[in-house]
A and B are shown apart, each in its own frame.
Chain A
Amino acid sequence: MSNLTVMVVCNDDRNDTWIQLLFSKVANLYMVKASQVRHFALNDFKGRALPFRRLPEFVDAILVHHSDMKILNNLPIESRYIFEFNTPGNSHRQPNAIPIYRQTFPQFTITPSDIDELIAFLSGQRPELPAMCEPVYTPDLLPALLLLCQQHQELIREDGPASIVNQPKWWLDSLGLLEHDDLNQGAYQTALKCLQEEWQRSKRPGISRIDVDRLLAQLATEQPTGFAITPSDVTCQVVINAYKSLQGIVGLPTEDQNLRPLDNITELPPAILAIAGSYLTAASAQILALRFKSQQPAIERHLLNLQDLDNFSKDLRNATLILTASQIAHLPTLRTQDFAGPVLVLALDSFSDLKGTHRVLRFGQGSHAALTLPFSRNALLNIASDLVPMQPENLRYFQNEMRAISQIYQQRIVPYLQKLEQADQDTALLNEVANVIQELRAQTPFACHTLVTIENEHLQIQQHLRKALANLEAQQEPQSAVAYLKTAFAQWYQLVKSAAGERLKLAS
């Protein structure tokens, strides 16, 4: 047990989870939750309620939920460190806070060993930050180059030396490095730095980079005025050698597949989309578009900029979208704009792990899939060919959940709960709450079917809500009945917000 003082600032039940993990590992533990403060001294598991004025002036560390930062800003407390967490675990680096890169809802993925590392860091026993504060490193450019090498070899076999894949422009365009058909100087230089960094961070940095450098040299050469696209074609042998090095550094796919024919596909997508910022998704989208072009010549790859996401074109609503794991946070924004197209995620995690972390991927089997790095070109083409757009009902369920966050929860549930807490439980108000619960169930059935534990009862959220309302109507122990109802609504809110991610702008 350390002689540390730690405070957790979070308005929901995640606070309790942090307290359970930290209890008996620090000398003093403070919980700031909603309008309550509790102090947990050593061996005092229940804790004691405190007025705000009795909070200490200084603590060793504060763990704060991103959305509750305002509470912290209003507290006259100094701390050595502030750690910030959010729902999906993708906190951005704030000027005065250290982000925690772990999901906290619906799964709380911070473990006792993470806490041990945190304590060791705070005590000075560990010089580096805990592992939970390091962003997960996912290679991007190296697997993209590996994929393009595979594509090159396949198409040279099919089309011969005249194939488009021999042209440097094709490689650079595939990586998203062209602008108006010319090399984007800034983007290319960024790519070179990225190559350096990824090579260093790879599992086998000792492998020589010379073959990959030769390949890049055949794409663009440095001139006095900057880099210029190489006029001559790339050499097959250079690609083969680079491919071998990249296989060594990135790894071999777990399985290789034969390429399935496209005959069974009834409807091809109108386009293949990728969000700018990833070489791998840009290259994958290019390869996929080229494959589908044999059946549908008009199909193209579109690279979406982040500013394009708020004004999504309806013509692309059934296009196939390829994302990295970190880009999944943008998907809710697109879905609320009627994007119904299938989604393929390229990630280090398995699809079932991704679904566990990102609820937005659960809205429609067959419309979402993932490929685990490293993967083969054939695996990419086969899995993408099997994907289908979302059915209208599933898209509607998702959109209704997003709408319900502001329209139902913030505008109606929160005020009703406030009235109930003020002991204002008349029949008309209870009828309104009953109507809201029905509306919640009608609009967000998927969320309402989720099983959660409240007060040791493991039921669907809608069953908890129904039970809470029945308790209120029975007028027995109104305070605890209101608290139960509030917790059930809060669980629903956290669940649907977890699907929204932290970047979706929800209209008020």
Chain B
Amino acid sequence: MSVQQQFDGHWFVTIQPLPRIDERIPLNDLLTRVQRAGVMLRGWDYPHIDNNTRNLDGAIENTTDWREYHERWRFSTSGFFAHRWRMREDGIPERVGTLDFINAIWSMTEIFVFSSRLYGEDPTVEQVTVSLELDGLRDRRLTSSPEYWINVRHLPTEDTFRREATLNRASLLADALVTPGRWAQALFHVMGAPGLTEETVRSHQQRLIERRFG
């Protein structure tokens, strides 16, 4: 089996506003709602919106299939959001089978920033459950750059990493960095890098929020 065939990792995210209200958002407002909540801090936005939105029964769906970007998301009138995307590292020949730790921190942070923008000021929402799943982790190497060297002691033996959190709306707005920061630390622990501190993770989150890439 080639390296390319061996690694096929994905991220799967859901955002679930509570209580459930089936017609929380009118069908015609779904795309605008995602556009207004979208996170555009770095070169690729979250979620990426391509010009192919299709209407489903009570939802919209958007797909991107281009270079290393393979993703699909769905947004329903209940406010339920689900997003699946292929690990971009597996679409770049020299990075197959790896996971960049800064990109992982930034992706997790973008998910929560997006969630807070989607529901932070929606009075029909009391709580939001955010779930995250990464699969295809077994034997995947956590990587960094020369500027941010990390010590990786072993490759992960578990293939899937799952986390879920339910936050009230105020916490979602106030603490959009805390939960993803903790999840990132937990992920790196599983991937053989337990030494990454909360301060290190937070500093990279701040770099994203402040758009400091240099």
Q: Do A and B come from one complex?
A: no
Residues in B lying within 8 Å of A, measured CB to CB? none
Residues in A lying within 8 Å of B, measured CB to CB? none
